Chain A
Amino acid sequence: MKVIYYCYGGSHSSVTAAAIHLGLLKERPSYHQLLDIPYFDYQTKYQHGIIRCLGVDGNGTEVFFVGRRNYKAFEQLVLSIADLLGTPRSELILVNTLPCTNWLMVIGGLLSRGLGLVSLGRPIVAWGTIMAFPRFTSLVKEVKGLVSVHLSCKESRPNE
């Protein structure tokens, strides 16, 4: 089972959600805890589209994140590739983390990643992420629920 969290740049919201999923962030983090997450505020526009694995959770689910910029057909693309490669779609959960973001994350992310003003943008995006943390937590909770439903279905029908 694979979970792919995606957002615009693959630097903030998707990384945060993936980190929560893996238990790297359990409660509202401090500024430094947030910056300690691998790949937080890291990717540039040249790395958009690269799907990176952040880790594997307790159920053996691999957790990925990616920045898909404004490419709206991203989900269809991933599912079509899964079909072409003969991988069952049910082995994949795609999660858009953009609805969890706030305007501070957008402005901070633009300054830090888009314009390269890291010293100005990073504190803003980190503050925004800390403010939006409860939204990320509830999104990840939903995703984990989906994963456990899928895994229990798989256990009850091992031949499928």
Chain B
Amino acid sequence: MIVIYCCVTGVHDAQIAAGIHLGILQPDYGATRIQFKHMEGYNNYAYYQTGGIRVVGRDGSGRTVATLGVARDMDVVLETVNSLGRIWGKEKVDIHLVDVGRPYWKTMIWSLCHKLKLPNLGNCLMDGHIRGEFTRIAKLVEKYQSLD
């Protein structure tokens, strides 16, 4: 089974969800910047620009955990993934796309800050966003950690 966490950029909400899923981030410790620093791809502008699915690791039950940036097009991504499964005759491959959250305007500002060589400003904005969303993301991930 492959669990792909999706957000606008693939390096924010999705990255945090993947971190919680794999136990790299602990929901009990709260949403602190020190915790976020343990996530290699978090706030990573280069990863965002590259795009595509990034495999973060495997959980204890052998599920592959990955992240994906979907911009505004979650529906397009869903249809594409389903179509590709059909094309390659692999309907039975379990790919779960999980929409973690899409704070579009915040990520646009984050991206703009990076383009303007003000990465810290953008990263601060997204840190604040993630702090507010951390509990919700942790609850969402719980469901997929126990998925069969």
Contacts and interface: CB of A to CB of B under 8 A. Distances in A.
Interface of A: 2, 46-53, 62, 64, 66-74, 76-82, 84-85, 87
Interface of B: 2, 50-53, 55, 64, 66, 68-73, 75-85, 87-88, 90, 93, 95
B58 to A, nearest CB: 13
A78 B51 contact: no
Nearest to A68: B76
A84 B64 contact: yes
A72 B73 CA distance: 10
Contacts of B80: 49-51, 66, 68, 74, 77-78, 81
B73 A70 contact: yes
B83 A50 contact: yes
Nearest to B75: A49
B109 to A, nearest CB: 18
20 contacts: A2-B87, A48-B73, A49-B75, A50-B79, A50-B80, A50-B82, A51-B79, A51-B84, A69-B76, A70-B71, A71-B73, A71-B76, A72-B51, A74-B76, A76-B53, A77-B68, A82-B88, A84-B66, A85-B85, A85-B88
Nearest to B10: A73
A46 B75 CA distance: 8
Given A68-B76, A69-B76, A70-B71, A77 B51 contact: yes
A67 B68 CA distance: 19
Contact of A71 (B77, B81, B83, B88): B77
B12 to A, nearest CB: 15
B89 to A, nearest CB: 10
Contacts of B68: 77, 80
Contact of A76 (B52, B83, B87, B88): B52
Contacts of A87: 88
Given A2-B87, A51-B80, 20 more contacts: A46-B75, A48-B73, A49-B75, A50-B82, A51-B79, A52-B83, A67-B76, A69-B73, A72-B51, A73-B71, A74-B80, A76-B52, A77-B81, A78-B80, A78-B84, A80-B68, A81-B53, A84-B2, A84-B93, A85-B90
B76 A64 contact: no
A51 B81 CA distance: 9
Contacts of A48: 73, 75-76, 79
Contacts of A66: 80, 83
A80 B67 CA distance: 11
Nearest to A2: B87
Nearest to A84: B2
B70 to A, nearest CB: 7
